[in-house]
Amino acid sequence: MNLIENVREAVRSIKVNLLRTVLTGAIIAIGISSLVGMLTAIDGIKAQIADSFSGLGANSFDLRNKGFSGGRAIQDGKTEKTYPRLTFREVMDFKEKYTSVGIATVFTRVTGSAEIKRDSKKTNPNVRVLGADENYLNIKALTLDFGRNFTSMEIQNGYNVCIIGKELGTTLFESNEDPLNKKITVLGMPYTIIGILEEQGGMGPDQGADRQILIPIENASRLDKRGSLTYSVTGVASGPERIDYEMGQAIGMMREIRQDRVAQEDSFDLTKSESVA
């Protein structure tokens, strides 16, 4: 009987305080729904970020000069041994060896202040010229708006072909013109446009993403008359769980190419790109 009386009392309380009861129930329902929605949204965002960073290189590693600039490496405030820069042939040999494990791209920044000409039109002297290979677009998550990527033959022979950013296509060509297969002058030499990148935009130091030009890495190396270009490599792991193993493989390959002795430290820097994530 006590149970029945308790139930009746509860029902009477609900009827007497109907508005408060409705509000309390609504608050509880909204709170639980909001919590579930937030947790679901967070899981979705985390998955999307992981996929995005994977495309941008979170599952990759970078191979650069010792100290990222060559010359003397500084550690614990002390000037260490001087290491020679990575040469073009060394990074290309590494790329070929690494094909047994995965894929890699070799690239270099030729200049960040080039003036590009096409007939009577020209750009401001702030165009970035990069030397890259056929894997660069894929590994760096760049998409073509029109045209095609470099072929292996164009990379190996260093043909005068180029892929341009969206802003350069707008600056050098009219809206009704097709830039593909047209010639432009880059660093005083004629290049044929084979592709146009999708608009990327940019923030901070990367404002010039849409006014860059990619040329074959072999072609870029020929422009390096003084041997001052800095060559970098980005390798892609076959999976997040194998990146440490494949980085170890990469270190062994580059040590062999650089002829580092057994007791000698690496004469290059190899870092995981997970710091981006």
Distance CA 31, CA 183 (A): 63
Does the pTM surpass 0.75? The reply is: no
If you search the block for the tokens 């072909």, which residue do you land on?
161
Distance CA 182, CA 173 (A): 10
* Helix and strand counts by DSSP (H, E) for the chain: 8, 14
pLDDT in tens, 164-204: 999 999 999 998 899 999 999 999 999 999 999 998 876 54
243-258 and 88-98 helices, crossing angle to 10°: 140
Q: Which of 184, 144, 181 is nearest to 166 (CA)?
A: 144
Q: Which CA distances in Å does 101 have to 32, 73, 238? A: 49, 29, 8
pLDDT in tens, 60-97: 899 999 876 445 555 555 556 778 899 999 999 999 99
Beta pairing partners, 183? 192
pLDDT in tens, 17-27: 777 777 787 88
Choose between 18 and 118: higher pLDDT.
118
Torsion of CA 168, 171, 174, 178, to 10 degrees: -10
Distance CA 252, CA 56 (A): 25
pLDDT in tens, 204-244: 444 577 899 999 999 999 998 888 899 999 999 887 778 88
Distance CA 86, CA 266 (A): 12
The residue-averaged pLDDT of 98-107 equals: 92
pLDDT of residue 20: 76
Choose between 68 and 4: higher pLDDT.
4
Is residue 160 very low, low, confident or very high in pLDDT (cuts 50, 70, 90)? Answer: very high
pLDDT of residue 276: 52
Burial of 228 (0-12, 13-18, 19+ CB in 10 A): exposed
pLDDT of residue 75: 55
pLDDT of residue 205: 47
Beta pairing partners, 129? 111, 213
Q: Write out the two tokens for 101.
A: 């494990």
The residue-averaged pLDDT of 251-272 equals: 90
